[in-house]
Amino acid sequence: MRVMVVGSGGREHALAARLRASPQVSDLICAPGNGGTARIARNLPVNVEDVNAIVQLARTELVDFVVVGPEAPLVAGVVDALTEAGIPAFGPKRAGAQLEGSKAYSKEFMRRHGVPTAEFAVFEELAAARSFVEQSGRAWVVKADGLAAGKGVIVAEDVAETLDALERMLGQREFGQAGARVVLEQRLRGQEVSYHIVLDGQRYLPLAAAQDHKRLGDGDRGPNTGGMGAYSPPPVVTPEVEQRILSQVVEPTVKGLISDGLDFRGTLFIGLMIEDGQPRVLEYNTRFGDPETEVLMARWGGDILPLLLGAASGDLSQVTPRWDAAVALCVVLAAPGYPGNIRKGLPITGLDVAAGIPGVMVAHAGTQLQDGVVQTSGGRVLCVTATGDQIDEVADRAYQAVAALHFDGMQYRRDIGHHARRAPC
Ligand code: AMP
Ligand code: GLY
């Protein structure tokens, strides 16, 4: 089978590495891929936001199955277009991807289907939003409605910061069209958890819970990022909490997807806040998380193709997730300047030494091959992933691999997994 993975991040490298190991995959294309996927697949250039170009590439290369990594092509309708062209694809159609493409839509969905989430209000007019905040007399989380590459959320500390965020989004249009509508949300406290389910339109399979680290700095300080590291499983998801996630969040969500007629086939990544054992939904994403995918793929046992193909073809009945590695943890190495303006083109050393450590995989996130040399080309550059039986030992091995790697200005957190580790970080 000829398979094409769309995207260029660590998530896509981790998925591609799993697909490369599938006995059913004869040819693997990454579009556009990165310096890591170049070693295991054929990288072919494409603009991931250009739906027609993706379909054209899949046709020219006689691709049998497309796995879509990022949200932008899903929201732009790439799965609708591939389906029309007769090419099976993993990921929801445009209608289902709206759960990520519009925060107002996803909050209305949660309200309609009784999914626990924070109180909210939606605004398009600056004056109306301002007076709502002033009258409430408290701080709100301010969210751009549309896609903003993980940067469209401002967790304000007080009324003044809330008003300032509104001015930036609705007034100055800092986030362009994505911020032309905003969701004001009550701030939730607790621990965040990333909970993925894979759906085939009717059925769903829960994957293992994971925990991301959104802030740039140790101790969960500093600006929000796309994610600086992850691990699985997080201890905050006890068996009892997982039961609540399934019965209070997943069940009503899946029922809602079906009754709204969305025929959702793909990954639904539910961002949760767990406070005193109670889950509430922060957001839906309609694709695999990054870097959560790196740890989920590292733990997954066996062939990944039946999961992805089963979802796309509407029959997951034959698939049962098996988690071969008890624990996985990954540390993201980010470029200087990240999450702001970054420097690119920096040579990376130590890749072979790091990858040679047992149980370690280095997923490339923002790299490219330039004249045989791997260099940085994005904000999140590498995602160093280790697996094993016990979190402290796994973290030690991940950091041992990190110590072997270098590029100028490399930034990373030293405390990934801190909620789970016994040993001080
Ligand atoms: P989102 O894209 O909606 O998940 O927001 C990005 C990040 O902002 C989340 O991962 C949280 O860290 C934070 N955040 C979002 N909504 C809330 C909320 N209601 N309360 C507290 N933190 C939030
Ligand atoms: N790690 C968070 C995300 O993929 O959105």
Residue 32: cis peptide before it, omega within 30 degrees of 0: yes
Tell whether the model's pLDDT for residue 424 goes beyond 80: no
pLDDT at 201 over 70: yes
Q: Residue 39: exposed, middle, or buried by beta-carbon count in 10 A (0-12, 13-18, 19+)?
A: middle
Side chain identity, residue 259? S
141 lines ligand 1 (CB under 6 A): yes
Q: What average pLDDT does this structure show over 328-345?
A: 96
124: region left, alpha or beta (phi > 0 left; psi from -120 to 50 alpha): alpha
Percent of the chain with pLDDT over 90: 91
State pLDDT tens for residues 209-238: 999 999 999 999 998 899 999 999 999 999
Give yes or no for residue 212 CB within 6 A of ligand 2. Answer: yes
* Structural tokens at position 11: 């998530």
Long-range contacts of 413-416 (CB under 8 A, 24+ apart): 413/213, 413/216, 413/217, 413/218, 413/228, 413/229, 413/331, 413/332, 414/218, 415/213, 415/218, 415/219, 416/213, 416/228, 416/229, 416/230, 416/231, 416/329, 416/330, 416/331
pLDDT at residue 151 greater than cutoff 80: no
Q: Strand 327-334's sheet: what is its strand order?
A: 211-212, 229-232, 327-334, 380-388, 360-364
Rounded Cα distance, 177 and 413, in Å: 33
- For the record, the structure tokens of 286 come out as 């309609």
Q: 209 CA to middle of ligand 2, Å?
A: 13
How far is 333 from 411, CA to CA, in rounded Å?
A: 6
End-to-end CA distance of the chain: 44
Cα–ligand 1 centroid distance for 213 (angstroms): 12
Whether the CB of 292 sits within 6 Å of ligand 1: no
- The conformational region for residue 112 under phi > 0 = left, psi -120 to 50 = alpha, else beta, is alpha
425 pLDDT more than 70: no
Cβ-Cβ contacts under 8 Å for 83 (sequence gap 6 or more): 89, 93
Rounded to the nearest integer, the mean pLDDT of the chain is: 96
- Say which residues have a Cβ less than 8 Å from residue 423's Cβ, sequence separation at least 6: 392
Q: What is the pLDDT of residues 13-47, one digit of tens each?
A: 999 999 999 999 999 999 999 999 999 999 999 99
Residue 298: which pLDDT band, with cuts at 50, 70 and 90? very high
Q: In this structure, are residues 171 and 185 in contact, taking their beta carbons and an 8 Å threshold?
A: no
Segment holding 195, helix H or strand E: strand 191-200
Residue 361 Cα to ligand 2 midpoint, Å, equals 19
Tell how far the Cα of 406 is from the centroid of ligand 1, in angstroms: 31
Atom of ligand 1 nearest to the CA of 212: 10
Omega of the bond leading into 73 within 30 degrees of 0 (cis): no
Cα 404 to averaged position of ligand 1 atoms, centre (Å): 33
Ligand with smallest separation from the Cα of 10: 2
Please name the residue whose Cα sits nearest to atom 3 of ligand 2.
289
Q: Is the CB of 283 under 6 A from ligand 1?
A: yes
Nearest C-alpha to atom 18 of ligand 1 is from which residue?
187
Q: Which of 365, 357, 355, 373 minimizes the C-alpha distance to 412?
A: 365
Measured CA to CA, the distance from residue 79 to residue 184 in angstroms comes to 31
Q: Mean pLDDT over residues 293-314, rounded? A: 98
CB atoms within 10 A of CB 149: 13
pLDDT digit string (tens) for 88-140? 999 999 999 999 999 999 999 999 999 999 999 999 989 889 999 999 999 99
Per-residue pLDDT tens digits for 278-289? 999 999 999 999
> How far, in Å, is the centroid of ligand 2 from the Cα of 227?
6
Mutate to test the pocket of ligand 2, among 215, 232, 269 (most ligand atoms within 8 A of CB): 269
Over the stretch 374-423, which tens digit does the pLDDT of each residue have?
999 999 999 999 999 999 999 999 999 999 999 999 999 999 999 999 86
pLDDT band per the 50, 70, 90 thresholds, residue 200:
very high
Q: Residue 81: what pLDDT?
A: 98
Cα(407) to centroid of ligand 2, in Å? 24
Index of the ligand 1 atom closest to the CA of residue 271: 4
What's the helix, strand, coil split of the chain in %, to 5?
A: 35, 30, 40
